[in-house]
Amino acid sequence: MLPWQNGDVTAYQEFAPFYDAVNGEPAERSRQILDYIARFRPASTSVLELGCGTGAVLAGLGSGLALTGLDLSSEMLAYAKRRCPSARLYEADMTTFVQPEQFDVVLCVFDTLNHVTTLEGWLATFERVHAHLVVGGLFIFDVNTLGRLRHLGDSAPWVHHFDQHTLIMNVEFDGHCLAQWEIRIFEQLHERHFVLHHERITELGIPLERLKNALASDFELLMETDPEGKTPSDESSRAYFVFRRRA
């Protein structure tokens, strides 16, 4: 997925029109979320997604849940409104947002959390999630691991052609915890006429034990896995979590 960064909305003034074409439909992730809800809180009626982007994940959850999404980019939310007309959508920062209600489920998926670039921001997000979940509600999220960010930094730039346009993405890892994503999209307007959209976005990696310890006092860990179905480590490509809000 193209990265989303808390506090950086200028990138998505440029990238919102291309986001779904580059990333494709997240149908499998939506099915996975529905499976978690059926397993751990089957009576759920409401979902809030942090960093909902174009609304692709919310749209995949179907009509059986009351859907709410927030994102910092008004351009992304405009696409989400078209994809998910029944959802309530808000322009807000996920580290500071306030809603007048609580939800059965809060989502933060496709490494959205990594794009909050300070540990303090992660802790603030966890506090906001806790405040907006009912007791026993689910917090479902995933992160890019430190190993994944290191691997991306060691890899050659990724080139992807779509709809006559070209995406070139390169990641530089600082060796500690920060990765800089450099994203270029060459938009083809005519046969020999291209427009360049260019942005650099930061992603933060945190050791998984530190992440789980930060959640432990307010949340109960229900499930953790990597894409292969194993217990995730800092060398996994991604880590998926389901937590339950404690009383």
SS3 9: coil
Q: For 21-27, which contacts have Cβ atoms below 8 Å and span 24 or more sequence positions?
A: 21/162, 21/163, 21/165, 22/160, 22/162, 22/167, 23/56, 25/56, 25/60, 26/1, 26/56, 26/57, 26/60, 26/110, 27/60
Question: Which three-class secondary structure string do you get for 119-135?
Answer: HHHHHHHHHHHHHHEEE
pLDDT for position 22:
59
8 beta partners: 5
Separation between Cα atoms, residue 33 and residue 236, nearest integer Å: 20
The rounded distance, in Å, linking the Cα atoms of 42 and 58 is: 17
| Beta-sheet pairing, 178-190 with 193-204 | antiparallel
Q: What is the pLDDT of residue 55?
A: 94
Polymer length of the chain: 247
Q: Which of 57, 56, 40, 52 is nearest to 105 (CA)?
A: 40
Structural domains of the chain ordered from first start = 10-144+207-245 (3.40.50.150), 147-204 (2.20.25.110)
Q: What per-residue confidence (pLDDT) applies to 94?
A: 96
Q: At what angle do helices 119-132 and 208-215 cross, to 10 degrees?
A: 40
Phi, psi torsion values for 240, nearest 5 degrees: -110, 140
pTM for the complete prediction?
A: 0.90
The pLDDT of residue 11 is 54
DSSP 167-209: EEEEEEE-SSSEEEEEEEEEEEEETTEEEEEEEEEEEE---HH
Written as six digits, the tokens of 103 are: 């939800």
Walk along the chain (247 residues) in steps of 10 and give the mean pLDDT of each run: 42 59 75 98 98 94 94 92 95 96 97 95 98 98 97 94 89 96 86 82 96 98 97 98 97
- Given this model, what pLDDT does residue 2 score? 40
